[in-house]
Amino acid sequence: MPANTGRVAVIVLGMHRSGTSAVAGAAIRLGLAPPKTPIALTDDNPTGSHESLPLDNLNHLLLNAAARGWYDCLSFSPDMLNDAARAAGFDYCTDVLRQEFADEPAFVVKDPMLCLTLPLWLPALRAVGATVSVLLVVRHPEEVARSLFWRDLLPESDSAVVWLHHMLEAERMTRRIPRAVVLYTDLLHDWRGCLARAGEIANIAWPTPPHRLPPGSDGVVIPSLRHHIAAANSVTVGPPAMRDLLDEAWLALRQLRDDPALPIVQARLDNVRARFAMQRHSLPPSMMGQRRTG
């Protein structure tokens, strides 16, 4: 691996429809470079997803190579790929990073599938001389599930479990990386203050500090685009047998807001993860690798 060049990659992680696009857009407003080939604007994301199209396509290929899809609730690991596929995956990831971010000194990488595939991207990020910080975006699972039903007609009960899978995987794999937990509600309330605080926690030196932004810079986060609001802090969506797991994960993730390395909270999430693994057999076939979606 080459010596570190001082480059910084900020990885935005979180379940689909969690506010990751808004966080990535805010990070770009604070001076991080966006991808050169972004996914086109859509009606459900009118301000942009700030995702790289080649990176998104490659993540689908990487998951498919391990017989996985983003809507499955099956663990993914680079070890599931044979030696040739892992080597090719590293080369492809490195090529995409060079294509999309060239020699940018600080850039943002965002794709919800990174909650699953990040272990394949970390060596590639090191290969292009970048150190990594993570912003883990947390939104109420009921709001996420409603948003996915509105956009894709996916069953809310299933989507809540997919939220659980994504968030547990993302939290576990980022424990050794500088990170900050960004609550979606905090972002909507005061995105400048939220990102300033997250930068301090995750060791991100924003090229343009939030307090130095010029007037008229508030349009990056638009609270009126929040169309789904959970009625209570507790979780009332998802299979009844998994409601407790969803509730505990939601509470624990919020508790990482002030200190993303709290051992007692991480232990609680480990317990949720172990219980979730034991209950996966009860999930419908569509969530256990028997259907590829989106």
Domain boundary assignment for the chain = 7-287
Q: What's the pLDDT tens digit per position in 109-143? A: 999 999 999 999 999 999 999 999 999 999 999 99
For the segment 164-177, the average pLDDT, to the nearest whole number, is 97
**pLDDT value at position 292?**
42
**pLDDT value at position 293?**
42
226 versus 245: the higher-pLDDT residue is 245
**pLDDT value at position 4?**
47
For the segment 73-99, the average pLDDT, to the nearest whole number, is 94
pLDDT range class, residue 289, cuts 50, 70, 90:
low
CATH of region 7-287: 3.40.50
Question: Any idea which of 12-26, 36-50, 214-228, 245-259 has the lowest mean pLDDT?
Answer: 214-228
**pLDDT value at position 1?**
39
290's torsion region: left (phi>0), alpha (psi -120 to 50) or beta?
A: alpha
**How many whole angstroms separate alpha carbon 140 and alpha carbon 251?**
10
**How many whole angstroms separate alpha carbon 112 and alpha carbon 114?**
5
What is the value of pTM for the model shown?
0.91
